[in-house]
Amino acid sequence: MSALLEISNLQAAIGDKTILKGLDLTIQAGEVHAIMGPNGSGKSTLSYVLSGKDGYDITGGSMHFDGQDLADLQAEERAIAGLFLAFQYPLEIPGVTNMTFLKTALNAVRRGRGEDDMDAASFLRLAREKSRALGMDDDMLKRQLNVGFSGGEKKRNEILQMAMLEPKLAILDETDSGLDIDALKIVAEGVNAQRSPERGMLVITHYQRLLDFIKPDVVHVMANGRIVRSGGPELALELEKSGYADYRAEGVAHA
Amino acid sequence: MLITVPKGSLMLNALAHFERAKPQLGGDVEARAQALQQAELLGLPTRRVEAWHYTDLPRLLNRSASSSDALTVNDFSALKPHYLVFENGHLSADLAQLSAEFVSPDADLSADAMTLYNQALAENGLTLKLDKSPEAIVIVETKGSEAQHLMHRVRLSAGVKATVVDDHAALGYSNVIWQVELAADAELTLVHMQQSGQYVGHCTVDLATNAQFKQITLLTGGDVARHATDVNLQQSGAKADLHSAILGRAVSHNDVTYTINHQAADTHSHTTSHQALADSARGVFQGKVIVQRDAQRVDAQMQARAMMLSSEAEINAKPELEIYADDVVCAHGTAIGEIDADALFFLRARGIDEASARQLLISGFVEQLLTHCDDSALADVLRHHIEQKISALTLTKLEAEHAV
Ligand SMILES: Nc1ncnc2c1ncn2[C@@H]1O[C@H](COP(=O)(O)OP(=O)(O)OP(=O)(O)O)[C@@H](O)[C@H]1O
Ligand SMILES: [Mg+2]
- Each residue's pLDDT tens digit, A24-49: 999 999 999 999 999 999 999 999 99
Q: Which residue of B has its CA nearest to A166?
A: B350
In this structure, are strands A5-14 and A57-65 parallel, antiparallel, or unpaired?
Answer: antiparallel
For A127-161, what is each residue's pLDDT tens digit?
Answer: 999 999 888 988 999 999 999 999 889 999 999 99
Q: Does A117 touch chain B (CB under 8 A)?
A: no
Output the pLDDT for position B19.
84
Q: Which ligand is nearest to the CA of A56?
A: 1
CB atoms under 10 Å from CB of B312, counted, come to 14
Domain regions of chain A by residue span:
5-91+168-254
Which one of A87, A95, A165 has the shortest CB-CB distance to B351?
A165
Q: Does A142 touch chain B (CB under 8 A)?
A: no
Output the pLDDT for position B16.
81
ipTM of this complex > 0.90? yes
- Which residues in chain B are contacts of A84 at CB distance < 8 A? 349
Cβ(A44) – ligand 1 distance below 6 Å: yes
Q: Does B376 touch chain A (CB under 8 A)?
A: no
Which one of A85, A91, A100 has the shortest CB-CB distance to B343?
A91
Q: Which ligand is nearest to the CA of A206?
A: 1
Query: What is the DSSP-derived secondary structure letter of residue B326?
Result: S
Q: Does B360 touch chain A (CB under 8 A)?
A: yes
Q: Could you tell me if B189 and B163 are in contact, meaning their C-beta atoms sit under 8 angstroms apart?
A: yes
Per-residue DSSP letters for A176-202? TTT--HHHHHHHHHHHHHT--TT-EEE
According to CATH, the topology of domain A5-91+168-254 is: Rossmann fold (3.40.50)
Q: Could you tell me if B221 and B254 are in contact, meaning their C-beta atoms sit under 8 angstroms apart?
A: no
Angle, helices A151-165/A181-193, rounded to nearest 10 degrees: 10
- Which residues in chain B are contacts of A53 at CB distance < 8 A? 345, 349
Report pTM.
0.91
Cβ(A42) – ligand 1 distance below 6 Å: yes
Output the pLDDT for position B18.
86
Across A155-168, average pLDDT = 95
Q: Could you tell me if A76 and A85 are in contact, meaning their C-beta atoms sit under 8 angstroms apart?
A: no
The Cα–Cα gap between B22 and B19 comes to: 5
Does the distance separating the beta carbons of A91 and B351 come in below 8 Å? no
Q: Per-block average pLDDT, block size 10, for chain B (404 residues)? A: 38 76 83 92 90 93 68 93 87 59 78 93 90 93 91 96 96 94 98 95 98 98 94 98 96 96 98 96 97 96 96 95 94 94 97 95 96 95 95 58 42
